[in-house]
Chain A
Amino acid sequence: MDNAKSPLQIRALDKFRGKTQVLHGIDLDIAPGERLALLGHNGAGKSTMIKAVLGLIRHEGGSIRICGAAPGSAAARAATAFLPEAVSFHPALTGHEQLSLFARLAGERADIDGLLERVGLGEAMHRRIGAYSKGMRQRLGLAQVLLGRPKLALLDEPTSGLDPISRQDLYAIINELAEQGAAVLIASHALTEVEARTDRIAILRKGVKVADDTLAGLSAQAGLPVRLRVQASGAHADRIAVETGGRRINGASVEILCSPQDKMAELRKIAAMGDAVADIDMVPPRLEDLYRHYSGEDRR
Chain B
Amino acid sequence: MRRAFAIARAEMLILRRNRWLFMATLIMLAFSLALSFAGSAPTGTLGVDMLTVSVASMTTLSVYLAPLLALMMGFDAVAGDRDRGSLALLLAYPASRAEILLGKLMAHLAALAVAMCIGFGAAGAVAVWFSGAGAESLMALGRLVLTSILLGAVFLVLGYALSALCSGATAAAGLSAGVWLVFVVLYDLGLLGAVVMDSGGIFTQKIFPWVMVANPADAFRLWNVAASESVALYSGMAGAASALPGWAAPLSLLLWPALGFVLACAAFRRVEP
Contacts and interface: CB of A to CB of B under 8 A. Distances in A.
B89 A105 contact: no
Nearest to B6: A104
Contacts of B9: 101, 104
B93 A90 contact: no
A84 B88 contact: yes
Contacts of A92: 13-14, 17-18
A102 interface: yes
Q: Which of B2, B10, B13, B91 is the most central at the interface, judged by chain A CB atoms within 10 Å of its CB?
A: B10
Contact of B7 (A101, A106, A128): A101
Interface in B216-273: 272-273
Interface string B82-108: 001110111111110000000000000
A107 B88 contact: no
B88 A93 contact: no
A82 interface: yes
A57 to B, nearest CB: 5
Contacts of A106: 93-94
A106 B65 CA distance: 37
Contact of B6 (A56, A93, A101): A101
A80 interface: yes
Interface string A28-72: 000000000000000000000001001011100000000000000
B143 interface: no
Band of interface residues on B: 20 to 34
A97 interface: yes
A224 interface: no
A141 B86 CA distance: 10
A16 interface: no
Contacts of B7: 101, 105
Contacts of B90: 105
B88 A51 contact: yes
Interface in B90-130: 90-95
Given A56-B88, A74-B94, A90-B84, A97 B2 contact: no
Contacts, number: 75
Contacts of B84: 88-90
Query: Which of A58, A78, A97 lies at the interface centre, i.e. has the most chain B CB atoms within 10 A of its CB?
Result: A97
A151 interface: no
A215 interface: no
B2 A84 contact: no
Contact of A54 (B10, B81, B88, B95): B88
Given A77-B93, A82-B89, A106-B93, A56 B13 contact: no
Contact of A89 (B6, B18, B86, B93): B86
A128 B18 CA distance: 11
Contacts of B13: 92-93, 97
A87 B92 contact: no
A90 B85 contact: no
Nearest to B85: A88
A173 interface: no
A280 interface: no
Given A56-B88, A88-B86, A102 B93 contact: yes
B13 to A, nearest CB: 6
A86 interface: yes
6 contacts: A82-B88, A83-B89, A90-B14, A101-B9, A102-B93, A107-B3
Nearest 3 Cβ contacts at the A-B interface: A104-B6, A77-B94, A92-B17
